[in-house]
Structure 1
Amino acid sequence: MIKKSITLIFILFCFLGYSQKIIDKNIESDILETTRNLKIYLPQGYEKDSVKNYPLAVVFDAEYLFDAYVGNSVLFAAKDKAPKQIIVGVSMGKTRKKDTYFDINTGNLTAENNAFYQFIRDEVIFYMESNYRTSPFISLVGEGTSANLITHYLREDKPFINTYICINPTFSDFVGQQFQSYNLQKFLKEDNTFYLYTNNSTSFSSKKQTQIGELQRGLASLELKNFNVVNDTITTASSISAISEAIPRALTKVFEIYSSISKEEFDKNIKDLSPIDAIAYLENKYLEIEFLFGSDLGIRERDIYAVEKIVIEKENGDQLREFGKMILKLFPTSPLGDYYLGRYYESGKQTKKALKYYKIGYGKMDPSDPNSDKFYENILRLGGQ
């Protein structure tokens, strides 16, 4: 309980910090033939960097989901667990039933539901991409019947949504048939990464738990390499608590590729690789981060160290040269690329080349860096001045 309270306090603190970055925008909708309100959050630093792009999250039910999602987004970005995001909240209020409730007799969207669906797709997302620096990575976030509406975007012939976050979803009795009609195999044709998050909860009625459980079991049987199904179950007596838990749990999975290499990721994907494959894995990880999220991180030193042992100990360290070159390409300001090149040439007794790279690496370091003395020792050991 204390731990959850601390988290909520931290998120509230973050909210107070970002409150000045909220933009209220009324958008005239030709599709809905009315004016709708948007709440737009721009992350810290957006105004200062005129080049950087950010993932876009569209949050339905902005009245109560927007602040919670933004607070979690700020926290995850501060902890380097997710990129900073541009977030647009769509206010619904009294129009929620008209916007997202479906025909209970068929499970199909009503004419009004379809209009709202198109409003999000053709007007809200278009407006955000036209006026703000968004990356190609788009998330939809909704709760209840809004979560159900979000799943209908899976039917698009050309998928353009990366993440479908469906919190406490209220599905029709025909949800299984609807998912079968979406032809999820089409995602395999896309050179992109997709996530579908749904949560069950002990706070739901028995009927609803059974319905969601059956859908999740069906989704779990899918084997689609780039379509990641996240089936969650939250143990709580309150659907409100389920919302507060679902958002960070969804973000953890959706942005796991952005995070630095965890022990789980290393054990599952890296530890048994050859040095050249481990190097390629690390390079591809950061290329995908840049492509999906518009975040040019260079490369985290802790991720370099995560694969260092494989490169040094396997194949007699013959791939140290490729390792150093890869690091210099992704992170040219880091001395680590030069260090590994120096170590490669030193192991081959090519002293002059080794000394050259040790000197270049040392020149990139701040004298106050505690590792600079160790770096200089390499130069002295090889007789450098």
Structure 2
Amino acid sequence: MKKIGIFIIGFIFCTTGYSQAIYESFRSIKLDQNRELKIQLPRNYKKNVDKTYPLIVVLDGDYLFEPVTGNVDYFSYWEDMPESIVVGVNQRKTREDDCRYDVAEFLPSQKGAEFFEFIGQELVPYINKTYRTAQLKIIVGHDYTANFINYFLFKDNPIFQGYICLSPEFGPPMGERIENVLSSSNDIWYYLATATNDAENIKKDLVSLDEKLQAIENPEVHYFFDNFEESSHYTLVGRGIPRALEAIFEMYRPISKKTYKEVLLPLETSVYDHLVDMYRTTEKLYGFKRKIRVNDFIAVSTAIEKKARDENERWNELEPLGKLALKEHPDTMLGHYYLAMFYEQTGEPKKAMRAYENGFQLSEVAFLTKDYMLDKVNKIKEDFGY
């Protein structure tokens, strides 16, 4: 146990060493006061000068910022979500006024209306101007602030596409409004969480709302709900944040063994086309283009090989796959290897040999080594007497 504790402490220090928070005082004209911000930039943000990053705005930054940034840093380290910019807004002394709404229309009023304008008209534009943000923007809140973040959802062109509502204490018509908006929204991720030991009125409202939201038939909305066993109004936060990030970025993750077995192998259409469509879809959904992972190339090529043993024409898929790998990873052996396999399996050994030789001069990647490529060249020479 002591070793495990030392490892965890070491990991925390390592993590914070790579992605430390920036503390900043922001002067708001809308609020006529300064607001304390916490900003965490991705690892190597300064080195990746051409890269843009999703923005995650965290209300109740006093206590929600660190759980969110810890999960974002961890998930992005393992490529289960994109690296992201996280901005926390401290509200320890102001959250009641910030979330204020009138009791007639149940919309932000007084200080609440000013805070709404501060987020949409000052904070987000400032972050967009100062840092390299991508199109995708997510907002996070807990109880009062989880109710408040929904007001952004009601705008004609919402500035946020993702909403993480942790045990929201809704105003009276909020549930009905959310149901109406999600029925006709486009490209929205909406996560809602409660728990068995949550406040009884909150849990009852959210369970009831979930039944209505589950019935919405809108493929453009990605809705997720959790009712955590044995968690409270406060402890559900620690479980809800990673669950929400997993759900929102489900399509971003690398091709898993499960996906390989259940999707790629049974696929009757082109496996190569599936890879291209998958990345095109995630670009549309998340608003930024990303390089195709080596892991995903290997998963697709393995499926092509396996299926080609039964259907010989499947080998033809290796040619466009090789050309795509040359484009995505030009400094590695990957693309030349796939082209060499294509030539070898379609009866062009000389072209295959040259492709293996071209790959030999580039960087090793995954299972591809110089010795492996050289063995492939020598085997062709032996078989055909070159």
> When the two structures are superposed, what TM-score results if normalisation uses the length of structure 1?
0.87
Greater mean alpha carbon deviation, residues 337-346 or residues 219-228? 219-228
**Are residues 1:163 and 2:162 paired?**
yes
3-state SS of 1:87 partner:
strand
What letter corresponds to residue 114 of structure 2 in structure 1?
A: A
| TM-aligned CA deviation for residue 212 of structure 1 | 0.2
The question of whether the paired residues in 1 share the 8 Å contact of 2:139 and 2:149 is answered with yes
What letter corresponds to residue 302 of structure 1 in structure 2?
A: N
3-state SS of 2:22 partner:
strand
Change (3 A) 1:259 1:346: same
What letter corresponds to residue 232 of structure 1 in structure 2?
A: D
Structure 1 partner of 2:345? 347
- Tell me the C-alpha RMSD between the 2 structures: 3.0
What letter corresponds to residue 173 of structure 2 in structure 1?
A: F
- The structure 1 residue matched to 2:223, chosen from 229, 244, 250, is 229
Structure 1 partner of 2:361? 363
**Are residues 1:280 and 2:273 paired?**
yes
Structure 1 partner of 2:232? 238
**Are residues 1:333 and 2:326 paired?**
no
The question of whether the paired residues in 2 share the 8 Å contact of 1:83 and 1:295 is answered with no
The question of whether the paired residues in 2 share the 8 Å contact of 1:55 and 1:85 is answered with yes
What letter corresponds to residue 272 of structure 2 in structure 1?
A: I
What letter corresponds to residue 294 of structure 2 in structure 1?
A: E
Paired residues for 1:150-189 under 5 Å: 150-182=149-181, 184-187=183-186
Structure 2 partner of 1:377? 375
Q: Please give the alpha-carbon distance, in whole angstroms, between the structure 1 residues aligned to 2:364 and 2:199.
A: 60
Structure 1 partner of 2:39? 40
Q: Please give the alpha-carbon distance, in whole angstroms, between the structure 2 residues aligned to 1:370 and 1:18.
A: 30
What letter corresponds to residue 228 of structure 1 in structure 2?
A: H
Change (3 A) 1:348 1:270: closer
Change (3 A) 1:113 1:368: closer
| TM-aligned CA deviation for residue 135 of structure 1 | 1.2
The question of whether the paired residues in 1 share the 8 Å contact of 2:179 and 2:212 is answered with no
| TM-aligned CA deviation for residue 7 of structure 1 | 10
What letter corresponds to residue 181 of structure 2 in structure 1?
A: Y
Larger relative contact order, structure 1 or 2 (CA cutoff 8 Å, min sep 6): 1
3-state SS of 1:236 partner:
strand
3-state SS of 2:230 partner:
coil
The question of whether the paired residues in 2 share the 8 Å contact of 1:54 and 1:295 is answered with no
Unaligned runs of 5+ in 2: none
3-state SS of 1:171 partner:
coil
Structure 1 partner of 2:199? 205
The question of whether the paired residues in 2 share the 8 Å contact of 1:154 and 1:184 is answered with no
Structure 2 partner of 1:250? 244
Structure 1 partner of 2:24? 25
The question of whether the paired residues in 2 share the 8 Å contact of 1:61 and 1:91 is answered with yes
What letter corresponds to residue 372 of structure 1 in structure 2?
A: K
Structure 2 partner of 1:260? 254
The question of whether the paired residues in 2 share the 8 Å contact of 1:275 and 1:311 is answered with no
| TM-aligned CA deviation for residue 139 of structure 1 | 1.0
Change (3 A) 1:270 1:118: farther
Residues 195-254 of structure 1 deviation map (CA, whole Å, 9 limit, x = unaligned): 111102112133322210111122212233232111112123432221111111111112
Change (3 A) 1:351 1:264: closer
The question of whether the paired residues in 1 share the 8 Å contact of 2:332 and 2:364 is answered with no
Residues 148-184 of structure 1 deviation map (CA, whole Å, 9 limit, x = unaligned): 1112211121233121111121112322321244254
3-state SS of 2:30 partner:
coil
Change (3 A) 1:70 1:299: same
Change (3 A) 1:228 1:180: closer
Q: Please give the alpha-carbon distance, in whole angstroms, between the structure 1 residues aligned to 2:136 and 2:7.
A: 27
Change (3 A) 1:300 1:367: closer
Paired residues for 1:102-113 under 5 Å: 102-103=101-102, 107-113=106-112
Q: Please give the alpha-carbon distance, in whole angstroms, between the structure 2 residues aligned to 1:320 and 1:285.
A: 17
Change (3 A) 1:143 1:368: closer
Structure 2 partner of 1:190? none
Q: Please give the alpha-carbon distance, in whole angstroms, between the structure 2 residues aligned to 1:271 and 1:101.
A: 54
- The structure 1 residue matched to 2:297, chosen from 304, 311, 322, is 304
Change (3 A) 1:151 1:335: same
Q: Please give the alpha-carbon distance, in whole angstroms, between the structure 2 residues aligned to 1:323 and 1:7.
A: 41
| TM-aligned CA deviation for residue 194 of structure 1 | 3.0
How many residue pairs align between the two structures? 376
| TM-aligned CA deviation for residue 84 of structure 1 | 1.7
3-state SS of 2:252 partner:
coil
Identity %: 30
Q: Please give the alpha-carbon distance, in whole angstroms, between the structure 2 residues aligned to 1:330 and 1:227.
A: 31
Structure 1 partner of 2:63? 64
